[in-house]
Every structure is written in C-alpha cells, then in structure tokens.
Structure 1
Amino acid sequence: MTGRGMDALRRWWRNHDQPETPHGDNGDGQAHRQRLGQQAETLALRHLERAGLELLRRNARAGRGEIDLILRDGDTLVFVEVRAREHGALVAAAESLSARKCAKVRETAERLIASQPSWQGLYCRFDVVAITARGAHNHIDWLPNAF
C-alpha cells in the first residue's frame, strides 16, 4: 500500500490513539507501512470473524507469495486479500487489485493447499476485503468470490 491510502490509514490510526511507529532503518517507511497493513488486516479479520468465519492462518507464505488471511467458512477455504485506500483516492481499494496480484494469490493458495493435506478436497474461494478510510471512520466492503 502506498501514497494516499497510507496517508489515510495513518490519520485514522492517529485519531484512534494508536502510537506512531518510527520508520524503518532504510528511511523509506517500510516498517510503518507493514504495521498499517497489519492493522487493516486486523480490521478485516474482525469483520469476517463476526460473520462466522474461522481464522486458519494470517500472512501465510508459500514460495514468493503471501496471502493476507486464510479462513474457513464451513467446508470452504477462504483466501482473503485485504486492500485499503483513502476515501476519494484515484483508485478505490476494491479496484486496486491487479490481475497479476490475483494470479499470484491463486498460485500461493495452490502451494499452501499442496502442503496441507487437511485442506485438500475442500472448496476454495477468493475474497477481497476493501477498507476505505474516511477520516475517523472506515467503510469495509467484503467481496466474496471476488476473483
């Protein structure tokens, strides 16, 4: 996440008494962006758990890919990509997901399923949780079967 979306999340978290995190050692703010991404994932996870989904893994890595959240919805594995942007950004959170990123998420999911025998044979679904920061409030859009 870069640019205006990051600025919106920073403002939102400051307004909710979250302590500021200093920028990473390399000076580009990578550690700070990672922290904000984790906070967006936490918002998404809370939303999905309230809907009855069960968390299996967070930030699951396989090969060079990562999946933000993996949950179970009955007999369905749900692979979730979390996107966050500021209200009024040039590209909305839900629209910021490229075809390349979707393909990478699918490839990572295939690798993870192959490494987890208990997941094999379950249905799979790819969802997006789009968070739009609006000042001190967030709007969360859950898009099941997004890709």
Structure 2
Amino acid sequence: MFSFKRQIGNQAETIALKHLSAQGLQLVEQNYLTKFGEIDIIMLDKTQQLLVFVEVRYKKTGAFGSAIDSVDRNKQAKLIRTAEHYLQQRDEFDEHICRFDVIGIQSDLKYPKITWIKDAFEG
C-alpha cells in the first residue's frame, strides 16, 4: 500500500510528465531506481538527440523555500550517480547529450504552479 506522501509524489510526477509531453518530449522511463537513488522521469527530445533526467519536487507552500530549492548539492550528486548507472546499462543513448532538469510544483495539485528549470545543474 502506498503512503500518502508517495501518492502525492505520484500525482506530482503525473502533472510533470503531462507538462513535458506537451512540450514535445517523449517518456523513456519513469521511477528508475538503483542503490544510488531514483530518477523520477527520463525523457527524450528527439529533435536535439537529448536525454533529459528530470527531478520532480512538490511543495504545497513556499513557506520554507520553493520546491526547486530542495534539490541541493547532495541530491544533485545522487541524481548524477544514478544517471551514470542508467547510461552504463543503456548503450542506445551513447550518442545523446544529457541534461538534468528540475520541475517544481507548488500550490495544490488541482491547480498547480509549475516551474521547469532546464539544465538545472551540471552532470
């Protein structure tokens, strides 16, 4: 059984996925989990031969910083290690450029405020 927090996380990821798909990106994989960490969404931009690793963060309010602010250096390092692991397993992306994006979702999930930071940090 999912926890309430996981259920909210899944809803936020669904919102982010719809947003990215509407921008022309294609889903490659969701919730890629390793011992290093998890990548919420992996998307492909075929027009630029670009593989996009997306971290999705949700916060109901901005009282203690935005959702995006919560992706600190430690979280970035985990995402980079997880992406490296993914790329070692999937040689079909050898020629692709990789990018790390962060999608912050704030407010309630019915009327979310979406902030998409492309190339949020270096891998």
Unaligned runs of 5+ in 2: none
Kept in 1: contact 2:11–2:109 (CA 8 A): no
Opposite residue 13 of structure 2, the aligned amino acid is: E
List runs of 5+ in structure 1 lacking aligned partners: 1-23, 25-29
Q: Which has the larger radius of gyration?
A: 1
1:94 lines up with 2:84 in the alignment: no
The CA distance in 2 between the partners of 1:97 and 1:131, in whole Å, is 13
TM-score (norm 2): 0.90
Shift of 1:94: 1.1
Identity of aligned residues (%): 39
Residue 80 of structure 2 is aligned to residue 118 of structure 1: no
**Cα distance in 1 between the residues matched to 2:81 and 2:109:** 36
Mapped to 2, the partners of 1:146 and 1:128 lie a distance apart of 6
**Segments ≥4 residues shifted beyond 3 Å:** none
Alignment of 1:52-67 (within 5 A): 52-67=24-39
Distance 2:43 2:83 in 1: 12
Distance 1:134 1:31 in 2: 18
2:13 aligned partner: 41
Greater helix share, structure number: 1
